[in-house]
Amino acid sequence: MTASRLQQALADKAHVWGGWITGPTFAGPDEFARAGYDYVGFDIQHGYLDDADVAQILRRIEHTPIATAVRVPSAAPAPIGRVLDAGADAIIVAMVDHPEQAAEAVAATRYAPEGIRSFGPLRASLGADPAALAARVSVFAMIETGAGLDAVADICAVPGLAGVYVGPADLAISLGAPVIKATSNGRVREAVVRVQQAAASAGIVAGIHAGDGMTGKDLAALGFQLITLAPESGALRRGAIAHLAEAQGRE
């Protein structure tokens, strides 16, 4: 059985740093791994990927030393099952407003009688033990709406949930706050702290989308453990700007 690299990292480290993949790439996870990141998230909600694309990438990067998570737009069991069968360590379910939705997401990762996942591992290294396959999966519910914020304590109490994950941009929109640098806005920051405290009280992981290193440092100081720093496009752009500035003799 291939162990969950994400569960290992969360058990060993105070802060687990992630990159974000929005398009079909094998180089992206490799380069994030080379840079020392702990995990990459694959986005099939907003990215140029679907669950079948991600399943193929996951099989190709099986031996890349980095943990993997997949953001899915809902708790629909078929796409969740497909990426888990390909070896994803975690799923991050978008727009969770109620504990019932979080429970549906957990059920999609568990086999009967605990859940509704269909058996079909795609990687030999995963083994064939249903209990072990289910146990290696971490489920995160995204808190990114006013409704989700109001229900955060009940969501955090859902059995089998590994953690909650804040989407600051949608949360800001829901609260009537600016999207840019959302976590520096007073209302959004208060909401973010509320989510972190609810997770801590429930004994589960608090995760968040930061978008850059300085914001990630700030959110780590607030108690978040699972922090996504940059998408592959942002990392490429930052590196490209630095190379061009060096070549042109600019600071």
User: Which token pair is 121?
Assistant: 């591992």
> With contact defined as beta carbons under 8 Å apart, do 90 and 137 qualify?
yes
Q: Report the amino acid identity of residue 199.
A: A
User: Which token pair is 223?
Assistant: 């108690």
> With contact defined as beta carbons under 8 Å apart, do 21 and 39 qualify?
no
- The separation between CA 20 and the C-alpha centre of its own chain, rounded to angstroms, equals 9
Cα-based angle 39, 223, 209 (whole degrees, multiple of 5): 45
Antiparallel, parallel or unpaired: β 90-93 and 67-72 = parallel
46 given a catalytic annotation: yes
Residue 18 backbone phi and psi in degrees, to 5: -125, 155
Alpha-carbon distance 200 to 206, whole Å? Answer: 7
| C-alpha Rg value of the chain to the nearest Å | 18
User: Which token pair is 133?
Assistant: 């396959």
Query: Per DSSP, which regions of 121-194 are E strands?
Result: 138-143, 163-166
Antiparallel, parallel or unpaired: β 163-166 and 205-209 = parallel
Q: Which of 15, 46, 98, 243 is labelled catalytic?
A: 46
Three-state SS string across 22-34, please?
A: CCCCCHHHHHHHH
Active site residues: 46
